[in-house]
Structure 1
Amino acid sequence: MDASALPLFCQHLLSQLASPPHEVRRLFHGRGRRWAGLEQLTADWLDGQVQISLFKEQDADFLAALTAALHDLVQTDIWQRSGAVSLLVQHRDRVGSPMEVIWGELQTWQQVTENGLKFQLDLGQKQNNGLFLDMRYGRRWVMDQAKGSKVLNLFAYTCGFSVAAIAGGAAHVVNLDMAKAALGRGRDNHRLNGHDLNQVSFLGHDIFKTWGKLKKHGPYDLIIIDPPSFQKGSFALTTDYAKILRRLPDMLAADGKVLACVNSPAVSPQFLIDGMADEAPELKFIERLDNPPEFEDLDHDSALKAMVFAR
């Protein structure tokens, strides 16, 4: 990256903080490659905590320039009036993804609001905090679609889609993820929103060893697939996604829908369209959901793909 671009980064942050978001929101998305010299830098508003994330290790000169620029930023009137309580830098490319406190005090457990729903974030402990902000429109779509539905949420993580579905009136949601600790956070997210946990199931299993149990809970009116691009020993996007797609017809209700997602910049939307045509041809592509405007990408096909299919 280029230290000479940092004044532009700070100027953009200040313009965003002049009217701070009312909910959790990305403030700066260098990963969209629209800001030359800042491609590995993002900034998020976490309901008062501002988190800067560095996705690749930078040289000492850039890091010193970034720290100096941020120290200047917190002295501005706009920052002081913004309601921010901390300024953090997460070094995602370092072992343990350590969090550096530039100003204020780190609040490890941060509650945020999105689409009127509450979520608990875990800051400074892991690479990911518990909520992927680029999927905001996807969760809103699920909320709008869910009334009276039985929903299957694959790769559920902390159950953001499940929270949205129950808030939208879903009859029942089945969450599947190998990470039982993440599912435990999902329970907490449901409790934060006053949801009846009798309407929610949590299965901490390997998806490829659980088809029988999943089918027994079905058929589903809505199936959500939002996998990692790669998870060592359990999932590789380009080889394993097809194994999921071919199972969909047996688990989906007659008029059911599928929200299939990919967040790898190396994969285009056509990957899912072709994969579905090959593995489950009775499911037709309906639409690609918009991404939030703050996640604009130089190449639209490199950004998050959230694709809707139906019989």
Structure 2
Amino acid sequence: MQVSALPIFFQHLSESLQSTPNEVRRLFHGRGRRWPGLEQLTCDWLQGQLIVSVFKQVEDEFLAALRSGLVDLSQQPVCQQRALQSIVIQHRYQDGDPAEIVMGELDAAPVVEESGLRYQLNLGRNQNHGLFLDMRYGRNWVRDNAKHKNVLNLFAYTCGFSVAAIAGGADNVVNVDMAKASLSKGRENHHLNGHNLNQVKFFAHDIFKSWGKIKKFGPYDLVIIDPPSFQKGSFALTKDYQRILRRLPELLAEQGEVLACVNSPAVSCDFLIDGMKQEAPELQFQQRLSNPPEFADIDEQASLKALLFR
């Protein structure tokens, strides 16, 4: 990355802070490759905290200029107006993704809002803080289309889709994820929104070993599939996604829908469309959901792909 490009970064942050609503939001998405020299830099606004992520090792000169510019930014009137509490640089290229506090004091467990719903985040210790911000439109779609539905949420993580579904009037949601700790955070997210947990199930299971139990709570009106691109020992995108798709016909109710997602730049929409044709030809592609404008990419096929099938 280039030190000479950093003034563009700081200008963009200043302008975005003036226009961003008072909820969690990506402010700068260098990984969309629209700003040469800043491709490995992102910044998220977590309602009082700026989290700047650096994804590849950079020269000391770049880091020094980044720190200095962020301190200068914190003195701008817009940061005082937005009640900025802290600025953190997360070094995503180092083991453990260490967080460096540049200004203020880190709130490691903030509660933030998105589209009127509340989520508990965890900062400073993990690669991901608990809510994938590029999936905002996907959660909004689920909320708008979940009324009276039985929903299956595969690779549930911290249950953002589940929170959206219950908020939208879903009758029941089944969340499945191998990580028990993530599902516990999902339970907290439901509590934060005052939801009735009798409508929500949390299964810390290996999906591929649990189809019988998953099927028991169907048929499902909506199945959500949002896996990691790669998870050592449990999921490899190009090998394992098809194993899920072929199970869909036995899981879905008549007129059931599927929201199938993939966030790997290595595959295009055709990966899901062709995979569905091969493994579950009964399901027809309907549309690709738009991504939030702040996640624009020079190649839309490299960005998040959230596809609807019916």
Measure how far apart 1:123 and its partner are.
0.5
Question: Does residue 135 of the first structure (1) align with residue 135 of the second (2)?
Answer: yes
Give me the whole-angstrom Cα distance separating, in 2, the residues matched to 1:74 and 1:142. 36
Partner of 1:7: 7
Q: CA deviation at 1:20?
A: 4.2
Task: State the alpha-carbon separation in 1 of the partners of residues 5 and 92 from structure 2.
Answer: 20
Shift of 1:136: 0.2
1:230-241 equivalences under 5 Å are: 230-241=230-241
2:166 equivalent in structure 1: 166
| Contact 2:121 2:129 survives alignment (8 Å) | yes
Tell me if the contact between 2:74 and 2:84 (Cα under 8 Å) persists in the aligned partners: no
Query: C-alpha offsets along residues 30-49 of structure 1, whole Å, 9 cap, x if unaligned?
Result: 01000110000001110111
CA shift for structure 1 position 75: 2.0
Equivalences for residues 178-193 of structure 1 within 5 A: 178-193=178-193
Contact 1:248 1:280 in 2 (8 A): yes
CA shift at 1:18, angstroms? 2.2
In structure 2, the partner of 1:100 is 100
1:140-193: CA deviations, max 9, x gaps? 000011000000000000000000000000000000000000000000000000
Equivalent position of 1:86 in the other structure: 86
Partner of 2:27: 27
Q: Residue 271 of structure 1 corresponds to which residue in structure 2?
A: 271
Q: Distance in 2 between matches of 1:114 and 1:142?
A: 14
The amino acid of 1:135's aligned partner reads M
Structure 1 consecutive aligned stretches of length 4 or more whose deviation exceeds 3 Å: none
> How far off is 1:78 after superposition?
2.4
Aligned to 2:223: 223
The letter for the 2-side match of 1:220 is Y
Q: Which residue of 2 aligns with 1:306?
A: 306
Show the counterpart of 1:292: 292
Contact 2:40 2:55 survives alignment (8 Å): yes
Provide the aligned length of Structure 1 versus Structure 2.
310
> Deviations along 1:67-110, whole A, 9 cap, x unmatched?
11112211222222222111111111111111111111100011
The RMSD of aligned alpha carbons is: 0.8
* Structure 1 residue 207 corresponds to structure 2 residue 207: yes
Q: Does 1:154 align with 2:151?
A: no
CA distance in 2, matches of 1:80, 1:113: 20
1:297–1:303 Cα contact (<8 Å) kept: yes
Aligned twin of 1:36: 36
Q: Distance in 2 between matches of 1:18 and 1:138?
A: 25
Instruction: Say which SS state the counterpart of residue 122 (structure 1) adopts.
Output: coil
Q: Letter of the aligned partner of 2:254 in structure 1?
A: A
Aligned to 1:66: 66
CA distance in 2, matches of 1:228, 1:18: 33
Contact 1:21 1:45 in 2 (8 A): no
5+ residue gaps, structure 1, are none
What residue is the counterpart of 2:18 in the other structure? 18
2:124 is aligned to 124
Amino acid at match of 1:148: H
Q: Confirm or deny: 8 A CA contact 1:146 1:168 kept in the other structure.
A: yes
Percentage of identical aligned residues: 65
Does 192-201 or 51-60 show the bigger shift? Answer: 51-60
Q: Distance in 2 between matches of 1:212 and 1:105?
A: 48
Q: Look up the equivalent residue of 1:68 and give its one-letter code.
A: S
Work out whether residues 20 and 82 of structure 1, in 8 Å CA contact, stay in contact via their aligned partners in 2.
no
The residue type equivalent to 1:213 in the other structure is K
Amino acid at match of 1:214: I
Structure-1 separation of matches of 2:154 and 2:278: 20
Match of 1:246? 246
